[in-house]
A and B are shown apart, each in its own frame.
Chain A
Amino acid sequence: MDLQPLSVGDSERTILFFVLLGIFAYQGFRRGLMAETAKLVLIGIGYALNQPTLAGNVAIRIINTAYAVVHGMLGGARAAGGVNAAVQTQLIKPENSSIALFLMFLIVIGLGYAVSARLQRANPLAGMVVGLLNGFLLSYLFLPALPDQVPVNLPGSSDAVSGLTQSPAGLGLTGVQVLLAPFYLLYQQVDTWIVPITIVLIVLIAMRNIKS
């Protein structure tokens, strides 16, 4: 059987966009204004960090300088020796900068969620509006990054099945795409390191949910 990657059309993407807005608005309503504002600020910081020209390059310079200082204090600079020491003590090398910035982006957004979970719940309606804005921003940032095709060849997929994407049944496919998209995006950035990262995440989440 000829395996064809399944594609996802613009209509599904638009529906997904509105579904996400709805989810974020509901979440904003539940969490309140302060939590959503904190999230909005950190999404903004994360976005700025992910853009080299805005704050990304500065962040990398700060991290590399701090690393070089620590490395020097530990005697590593002398061991590395001479003129090339600065280059060798770069924690984030230029070829890895886009991966590092993307990870920083994700970490800051995660931080936004962690901070917002600890803030007082008040002003649900205003929270809903800011939540809507957060949903819009995150959709704006992440939806264009979604792969146009489901990142795996599903067994049994064919041209006939691909035709489903033009029908409401394609929404199910979009669901699969959304579930796999974070892994796909992460895989594009960190390659096989996605495996240890996923293992750590599963173990940490499970440990956090064990009641003493």
Chain B
Amino acid sequence: MGPLEILWACIIVFFVFFALVRGYAQELGVTTLIFAALFIITQFGEKYVPAILVLIVQRTGSAALSPRTQEHILSIFFSLFFIIVVFASYAGETFTLKGRSKTSGPAALVLNILVGLLNGYLVAGTLWYFQDVYEYPVVDLHLLQLPLSDFAETAANFLPPYVVPPLFWAGMVMLLLLFRVKD
């Protein structure tokens, strides 16, 4: 696999395309669920899931997991959980905000791109975070070679869960839900 930041940029570009096709009102519904998932993961998941994992291993009488194996499991678990939430937010009957978005004109274009960039940053950035915080488990699978480039090292400091406190996500969910029910 090539540099991680290229993959990251590709994911963001895909989300911009999604937003251009679907419109920002629908994409904000996806944003809401991403905010909710981020709140659950950063506020509760990272705190309790490792403890639950250790408990399960103890209860099943298995040999204690090595720290590296734990990192693999946690990284995969959180990544899967997050991907499922994102997938669910796009699949079937989706959660959308009430009202219509502008469909044409430069303002609609800019808004679609902005919300697409936001969703792309949140999704790509969070998946990258699950690698970064657990010491890049994909390296063991030969899917990535370290060290990261200088740009990637800098970009990694700006991954969503590093720069945004958990309660912020909850606040944003509340804001968007209030907007949805206000009419």
Contact A210 B97 (CB under 8 A): yes
Using CB atoms, name the residue of chain A closest to B31. A203
Judge if B170 is at the interface, Cβ distance under 8 Å: no
Which of B28, B99, B102, B168 contacts A212 (CB under 8 A)?
A: B99
Contact B176 A209 (CB under 8 A): no
With a cutoff of 8 Å between Cβ atoms, the chain B residues found around residue A207 in the complex are 28, 97, 176, 179
Using CB atoms, name the residue of chain A closest to B115. A206
Bound state CA distance, A89 and B82, in angstroms? 40
Interface string of B84-122 (1 = CB under 8 A from A): 000000000000011111100001000100110110000
Assess A203 versus B28: contact at CB under 8 Å? Given A209-B101, A210-B97: yes
Using CB atoms, name the residue of chain A closest to B160. A195
Contact B158 A199 (CB under 8 A): no
Judge if B41 is at the interface, Cβ distance under 8 Å: no
Judge if A196 is at the interface, Cβ distance under 8 Å: yes
Contact count A vs B, C-beta below 8 Å: 61
Q: Which of A140-177 contact B (CB under 8 A)?
A: 153
Which of B118, B168, B175, B183 contacts A202 (CB under 8 A)?
A: B118
Bound state CA distance, A153 and B149, in angstroms? 13
With a cutoff of 8 Å between Cβ atoms, the chain B residues found around residue A203 in the complex are 28, 31, 118, 172, 175-176
Assess A209 versus B111: contact at CB under 8 Å? Given A192-B157, A203-B31: yes
Bound state CA distance, A13 and B28, in angstroms? 37
With a cutoff of 8 Å between Cβ atoms, the chain A residues found around residue B25 in the complex are 206, 210
B15 CB to closest chain A CB, in angstroms?
A: 13
Contact B164 A196 (CB under 8 A): yes
Assess A210 versus B100: contact at CB under 8 Å? Given A192-B157, A203-B176, A205-B114: yes
Interface string of A174-212 (1 = CB under 8 A from B): 000000000000000000110110011011011101111
With a cutoff of 8 Å between Cβ atoms, the chain A residues found around residue B179 in the complex are 207
Bound state CA distance, A207 and B101, in angstroms? 9
Assess A209 versus B172: contact at CB under 8 Å? Given A192-B158, A202-B114, A202-B118: no
Bound state CA distance, A69 and B143, in angstroms? 58
Assess A206 versus B164: contact at CB under 8 Å? Given A192-B158, A199-B172, A212-B99: no
Contact B102 A206 (CB under 8 A): no
Contact A211 B99 (CB under 8 A): yes
Bound state CA distance, A26 and B183, in angstroms? 37
With a cutoff of 8 Å between Cβ atoms, the chain A residues found around residue B172 in the complex are 199-200, 203
Judge if B18 is at the interface, Cβ distance under 8 Å: no
Task: List chain B positions with a Cβ less than 8 A from chain A.
Answer: 24-25, 28, 31, 97-102, 107, 111, 114-115, 117-118, 151, 157-158, 160, 162-165, 168, 172, 175-176, 179, 183
Other contacts beyond A205-B114, A210-B98: 12, CB < 8 A: A195-B158, A196-B163, A196-B164, A199-B164, A199-B172, A200-B172, A203-B28, A203-B176, A207-B97, A209-B101, A212-B99, A212-B183
